[in-house]
Structure 1
């Protein structure tokens, strides 16, 4: 494939989200003479520590303190070939480190890395090691499976995909980094529940999923069972990566695939809050970030690459996330601009429960 044809193909692949463009340019420029040494599995010294949960807070009827406060970081896209992604994550972590409100935990909703390769996880580990942080939790996005596109010379190679690699290896790498037995799991914190869902296959195992999120029967049954444990009025927080398609349809490329079943499972629980990433939409560009269905549905922005409504990285200085505080009778959600440590008035919600 010619260089021009290859670049044309790549632009077609990412046009819907525009998220990988900067990193891919850097990757294409990587030297083909790079020595291919043997790789060792990434070991994250923070993995055990990140899964330790703080002691539950004692909530009384007289207190106005939040029961739980957490930051949601979506679409970090950490890449050695796009220094801005590293800079933006450091901006977010520096903000959290100096935050003037509690942050009990940090949740990262997919596309933690740009390519899901060992070098990216090593870079992520090096960044995280420089901060004393609350517990971190994460799920997988489509980009966390992208290592299958990288050939032995370090180039993005469609023609030789999967380049001797598997989706299974990407899942194992992610699970090892975050000390997980499965890519989906439950977090109980301060008497509240967070459910983190991850896509369980990519195009090496299931070519038909494209950039969509495919969940197995086991994961869907797990979601149903976990929700059934919480028939009280307490809110439950569900983390996905890809967004839902239009109501009444199942998803596909760039969306949650088993959407009808997903919505049906959530239907009996009006105090469920669902969060997704993937779209990278700027909180300030006028796009819709909160939708009320039978549950509350939020589209987060991006830490690594904030995009305009045409899915272009127009404001490369921006880095955004969502801060959530849970009280006894309401939940507040506020958009945060990490680059200058300010709140975004365009993303400010107060929801009664």
Structure 2
């Protein structure tokens, strides 16, 4: 399959996943949501793993020789009214605790929650508190802005949007939960730079973005500066949510909007690895989940709900992610099926560093 076909199908998958969201995810938030004022004080103590917890899990003596090992998860869609996404996340963490190799961080590339409400975040915190995890970092996906679609009765209500909510309140909730000053952030993991980019507006502020990822001048300048700061050729990891459009084009709904500038910023830098999610595509579906440009782009699956090529749930009891190992001369990326606790043979790549 060529790259153009892959991109078209990926965009279609994302579209179908979102436009059917109300039915697919069954918006049943079990109690009326809090008001925007109440949400500011709704977080309480933060769980293990959210920035700063330094415990390694898995097997710290795995003998692989990797300088750094971490998981990239996407599209958790933790939902206070639907059990399956949260159950899948628990099974992913259960697999990690008994993992054959060490895990030094967990990176989440957007759609942490189903609708970004305080109750969704409370459900996420409840799960996290049951596990002692290494540092967990995240960026925002489009669903983390979805509180504007949820009315005070806890039901999906596009007709009454923004239902007393704002895009700003969605960003504030996300930043407070992950202890951030801005929705995008940087972390150094064993000398490797990780940059987590977040869309900075949704349809309440910028109706034209629809489900696309809009990055401000400030965020793009920050990305350029952080990559220029590198003093070595160690790999850098850039986390986005929506995928990129075709080379030479800017994106729109369901893709990265200012894609030309994004690619231009990355172009001068060797050993850059980009991870995206959003389309929930099964890592065994025969599509190109690794694309080589001037950087290395990996298109992740989903923990909360994996979709098949017809954009329908693949099957029950499946949750997928990517395991990354950094060596002196290469980066290894492998697909993991968490519930079956098995490697996905179709998703295994070794990229030599230059």
- The TM-score with structure 1 as length reference comes to 0.89
Q: Distance in 2 between matches of 1:245 and 1:36?
A: 36
Alpha-carbon displacement from aligned partner over 1:50-104 (angstroms, at most 9, x marks no partner): 221649xxxxxxx962111000110000012321101110110101111110100
Residues 232 and 28 from structure 1, CA distance in 2 versus in 1: closer, same or farther, beyond 3 angstroms? closer
Partner of 2:261: 261
Residues 245 and 209 from structure 1, CA distance in 2 versus in 1: closer, same or farther, beyond 3 angstroms? same
Deviates more, 1:231-240 or 1:247-256: 231-240
> Is 1:272 aligned with 2:272?
yes
Once the two structures are TM-superposed, the CA of residue 48 in structure 1 deviates from its matched residue by 8.4
Once the two structures are TM-superposed, the CA of residue 14 in structure 1 deviates from its matched residue by 8.8
8 A contact 1:44–1:125 mirrored in 2: no
Q: Distance in 2 between matches of 1:347 and 1:78?
A: 25
Q: Distance in 1 between matches of 2:189 and 2:170?
A: 28
- The TM-score with structure 2 as length reference comes to 0.89
Residues 21 and 79 from structure 1, CA distance in 2 versus in 1: closer, same or farther, beyond 3 angstroms? farther
8 A contact 2:282–2:314 mirrored in 1: no
Q: Distance in 2 between matches of 1:174 and 1:263?
A: 26
The 5-angstrom pairing of residues 80-159 of structure 1 reads: 80-159=80-159
Partner of 1:248: 248
> Is 1:161 aligned with 2:177?
no
Q: Distance in 2 between matches of 1:239 and 1:229?
A: 18
Once the two structures are TM-superposed, the CA of residue 316 in structure 1 deviates from its matched residue by 2.3
Once the two structures are TM-superposed, the CA of residue 285 in structure 1 deviates from its matched residue by 1.0
> Is 1:196 aligned with 2:190?
no
Partner of 2:302: 302
Once the two structures are TM-superposed, the CA of residue 317 in structure 1 deviates from its matched residue by 1.8
Partner of 1:314: 314
Partner of 1:205: 205
Residues 29 and 46 from structure 1, CA distance in 2 versus in 1: closer, same or farther, beyond 3 angstroms? closer
Residues 184 and 316 from structure 1, CA distance in 2 versus in 1: closer, same or farther, beyond 3 angstroms? same
Once the two structures are TM-superposed, the CA of residue 29 in structure 1 deviates from its matched residue by 5.9
SS at match of 1:348: strand
CA RMSD of aligned residues (A): 2.3
8 A contact 2:79–2:113 mirrored in 1: yes
Deviates more, 1:85-94 or 1:20-29: 20-29
Partner of 1:347: 347
Q: Distance in 2 between matches of 1:54 and 1:36?
A: 34
Partner of 1:3: none
Q: Distance in 2 between matches of 1:125 and 1:278?
A: 22
SS at match of 2:234: coil
Mark the runs of 5 or more structure 2 residues left unpaired by the alignment.
1-11, 56-62
Q: Distance in 2 between matches of 1:218 and 1:240?
A: 16
Partner of 1:7: none
Once the two structures are TM-superposed, the CA of residue 151 in structure 1 deviates from its matched residue by 1.2
Alpha-carbon displacement from aligned partner over 1:175-227 (angstroms, at most 9, x marks no partner): 00011000111101111110000000000000000000000000000000000
Alpha-carbon displacement from aligned partner over 1:220-261 (angstroms, at most 9, x marks no partner): 000000000115221100000000000010001000000000
Residues 169 and 348 from structure 1, CA distance in 2 versus in 1: closer, same or farther, beyond 3 angstroms? same
Q: Distance in 2 between matches of 1:325 and 1:26?
A: 33
Residues 23 and 147 from structure 1, CA distance in 2 versus in 1: closer, same or farther, beyond 3 angstroms? same
Partner of 2:180: 180
Partner of 2:5: none
Once the two structures are TM-superposed, the CA of residue 27 in structure 1 deviates from its matched residue by 4.4
Residues 64 and 306 from structure 1, CA distance in 2 versus in 1: closer, same or farther, beyond 3 angstroms? closer
Residues 66 and 154 from structure 1, CA distance in 2 versus in 1: closer, same or farther, beyond 3 angstroms? same
> Is 1:323 aligned with 2:323?
yes
Moved over 2 A (4+): 19-31, 34-42, 44-50
